[in-house]
Amino acid sequence: MIWTEIIRCSNDFKEDVIAFAQKLIQTPSLSGSEGDVAELCLNEMKKLGYDEVFIDDIGNVVGIIKGTGNGPNIMFNSHMDHVDPGDESNWEYPPYGGIIADGYIHGRAASDVKGGLAAQIYAGGVLKKLGIKLKGDFIFTGVVQEEPAEMFGMRYLCDKTFAQKGIKFDLMVSSEATSMDIYLGHRGRIELEIVTKGRTSHGSAPWRGINAITLMVPVITEIQKLAKNLPKHEFLGQSTIAPTIISCSPGRLSIIPDRCTLCVDRRIVPGETKEEVLSQIQQILDMLKQSVPNFNAEVRIRKVVETSYKGYSEECEKYMMPWYVEPDHPFVIKAVEALKQIGQNPGFGKWDFGTDASYVTGVLGIPTIGYSCMEEKYAHTPYDRVKIDDLIKSVAGNAAIAYNIAG
């Protein structure tokens, strides 16, 4: 039976999958420096017999196993970058060691998302080795710079690379950490900057100036009030708003600051828009202008310029849409069926953080599910790791999902 063969073949690949995951972890790929990992992925897919492999103009890596053309195309997606390991003295194992201990592979990005990346690539290898010809295409994509600018690499991949090459897909499977469950969505994110403007004076004579920090105090108070009255989604949870960074200029002990900037993390649920979010803050600022002497402030969505390792630059607005796929969606039902056929019993869950699915599902309207061997609790920590047993099981799981949906 095909399900038994998928399990057997995945187990046969065990040592290769472990070695590849170790190699990925041992290869640093901070955001904007993913080139070496892209080459590793490219060469591994060539070795496994993918029909087409390439790196696009921004640095994303793509591998395709062609179907017969009369079924849905599935994109299995991972990002290739990772966050900085920080102080290495906090790590029990070297962050770039890929050390195996206690049934885990340890190291930076093992759980975000190099374990899942290895499993997705080898799922295609399982289909190739078993000679399974899907009706739809199996597409693997490894994108750049998800960590600092979700959607930067993904947007380029979909809007430019795929558009130019005529590549289409009907479902995305994200490898972001799900602990072997199926995830169906997450809240959106907006990064706001609120700036209050005052007037400098000598610190010894504060009455001669207008302190921009003092002007920010009632703003924070009103934000805390707003936080208690935000909407909630029955599956994705509560909208939130949280001040996260505050800074001022000139930033000298003896100078009253004339500018104070507050960065705010705003998580939104379906039904909320960026226009609504900006309006909520603007109403606060307008109200304070009427009640606080010398009050002067503005709000905007943060924008950053990202540059890929291939030199492509783009200004990115820090706004990600929320998204949610219903558990009775046909693709979800098929994915659950597939995993149960190979002895897995997934539940449903959601991410608290954001993913590139905000573009695929939130903007393009193409459904996404999350399925992965990795555990969210280890992401971005000095305990970063992936469980080897789940790593191999997820190779089979990804292959089974592809077979049941596109087979």
The per-residue pLDDT for range 354-389, each reduced to its tens digit, is 999 999 999 999 999 999 999 999 999 999 999 999
Query: 235, 270, 305: which is the final residue of a domain?
Result: 305
Reading the block at residue 197, the tokens are 């403007």
So what's the pLDDT on residue 148? 86
29 vs 84: CA distance, rounded Å? 9
132 in a structural domain: yes
If asked whether residues 223 and 121 sit together in one domain, one would say no
Distance CA 263, CA 198 (A): 18
Q: Name the DSSP class of 36.
A: H
The token pair that represents 150 in the structure block: 């979700």
How do 182-186 and 323-324 pair as beta strands? antiparallel
37 and 139 share one domain: yes
pLDDT score, position 258: 98
- Could you tell me if 33 and 168 lie in one domain? yes
Which domain range does residue 256 map to?
188-305
Query: Using CA atoms, how far apart are residues 175 and 92, in angstroms rounded to an integer?
Result: 25
Q: Is 312 part of a structural domain of the chain?
A: no
Indicate the length of the chain as a whole number.
407
Is 9 a residue whose pLDDT tops 80? yes
Q: Do 45 and 168 sit in the same domain of this protein? A: yes
Same domain, 170 and 202: no
Distance CA 6, CA 345 (A): 17
- The answer to whether residues 178 and 105 belong to one domain is yes
pLDDT for res 121: 99
Residues 175 and 196 in one domain: no
The answer to whether residue 125 sits within a structural domain is yes
Distance CA 300, CA 265 (A): 12
- Give the side-chain half-sphere CA count within 13 A for 19: 5
pLDDT category, 150, cuts 50, 70, 90? low
Q: Is residue 313 in some structural domain?
A: no
Determine, yes or no, domain membership for 236: yes
d(CA 143, CA 154): 6
Among candidate residues 374, 401, 391, the one with its CA nearest the CA of residue 108: 374
Same domain, 73 and 162: yes
Look up the CATH number of the domain holding residue 11.
3.40.630.10
Q: Looking at the structure, do residues 359 and 264 belong to the same domain, yes or no?
A: no
How far, in Å, CA of 61 to CA of 53, rounded?
8
Share of the chain above pLDDT 70, in %: 100
Domain boundary pick from 276, 305, 334: 305
Q: Is the dihedral of CA 34, 97, 378, 395 positive or negative?
A: positive
Q: Which residues are catalytic?
A: 81, 146
State whether 143 and 276 are in the same domain. Answer: no
Contact in structure between 189 and 301 (CB atoms under 8 Å) = no
pLDDT at 161: 99
Residues 88 and 41 in one domain: yes
Looking at the fold, whether 47 and 142 belong to one and the same domain comes out as yes
β-pair partners for 62 = 54, 141
Domains contained in the chain, number: 2
State the Cα–Cα distance between residues 297 and 216, nearest whole angstrom. 9
**Residue in 307, 304, 308 with CA at minimum distance from that of residue 318:** 304
Structure tokens at 87: 């102080």
Q: What is the CATH number of the domain that holds 211?
A: 3.30.70.360
